A and B are shown apart, each in its own frame.
Chain A
Amino acid sequence: QQQVKQSPQSLIVQKGGISIINCAYENTAFDYFPWYQQFPGKGPALLIAIRPDVSEKKEGRFTISFNKSAKQFSLHIMDSQPGDSATYFCAASPYSGNTGKLIFGQGTTLQVKP
């Protein structure tokens, strides 16, 4: 119930291609879905976030698509660049109980080849 399932575990994309990472959840109490990007030796950095009342959110080359009925959300990275090579974590936060605790997916290691 508290899990967020993320796939794929690893992804290799050519420069200029589209990278797609998917996440699924069960707990309908989740209502805030951030994506974090983590480079080796660094802490996670918030990339983009969405709430379930919106089906899509775009910031530059990064887009979150959200399907509330399927309880799935995904990150699309358009025109992927070698500098995007990093580990990406989706997360979910329940409003219920108001704790703000983040439940992380298992992560996807993205490699963008030049």
Chain B
Amino acid sequence: DTEVTQTPKHLVMGMTNKKSLKCEQHMGHRAMYWYKQKAKKPPELMFVYSYEKLSINESVPSRFSPECPNSSLLNLHLHALQPEDSALYLCASSPTHRRQGSGAKNIQYFGAGTRLSVL
């Protein structure tokens, strides 16, 4: 099973709302990622968690706050978002974060994403 599950599938929120995106995997992967994807563009890396610790923050605004409660779960807390934050938010996981040998352990498996609209 190579499934990464994201909820909700769709989210509409106002600029003053607080909401959270959830991601779950049961593959025993120790690295989890948040990406943002605009229409017709490639995914842009936001955060990387490795062994439940934040490993990479790609200079993401503080209105996005990631959390990794355990090795299977990854959350993205949203607060005071702007309309330009509307996008598809993708979660991914890989066996490890750091490259080892052939790179196979870094293969990233993506969820279906949460389509976020900020009004």
Contact = CB atoms under 8 A, between A and B. Distances in A.
Interface residues of B, number: 28
B106 A104 contact: no
Interface residues of A, number: 26
Nearest to A6: B42
Contacts of B92: 43
Contacts of B6: 43
B59 interface: no
A43 B111 contact: yes
B97 A99 contact: yes
Interface stretch (A14-22, A45-53, A69-77): A45-53
Contacts of B48: 101
Contacts, number: 67
A109 B39 CA distance: 12
Interface centre among B42, B102, B103, B108 (most CB of A within 10 A): B42
Contacts of B113: 41-43
B4 interface: yes
Given A99-B56, A107-B42, A109-B40, A43 B112 contact: yes
B21 interface: no
B118 to A, nearest CB: 19
Contacts of A45: 110
B99 A98 contact: yes
24 contacts: A31-B103, A41-B112, A43-B4, A43-B6, A43-B90, A43-B110, A43-B111, A43-B113, A45-B110, A46-B109, A49-B107, A87-B40, A95-B99, A95-B103, A100-B98, A100-B99, A100-B103, A100-B106, A101-B45, A104-B43, A105-B42, A106-B42, A107-B40, A107-B41
Interface of A: 31-32, 34, 36, 41-46, 49, 51, 87, 89, 93, 95, 98-102, 104-107, 109
Interface of B: 4, 6, 31, 40-43, 45, 48, 56, 90, 92, 94, 96-99, 102-103, 106-113, 115
Given A34-B107, A100-B103, 9 more contacts: A32-B99, A32-B103, A42-B113, A43-B112, A51-B102, A95-B103, A99-B56, A104-B43, A107-B42
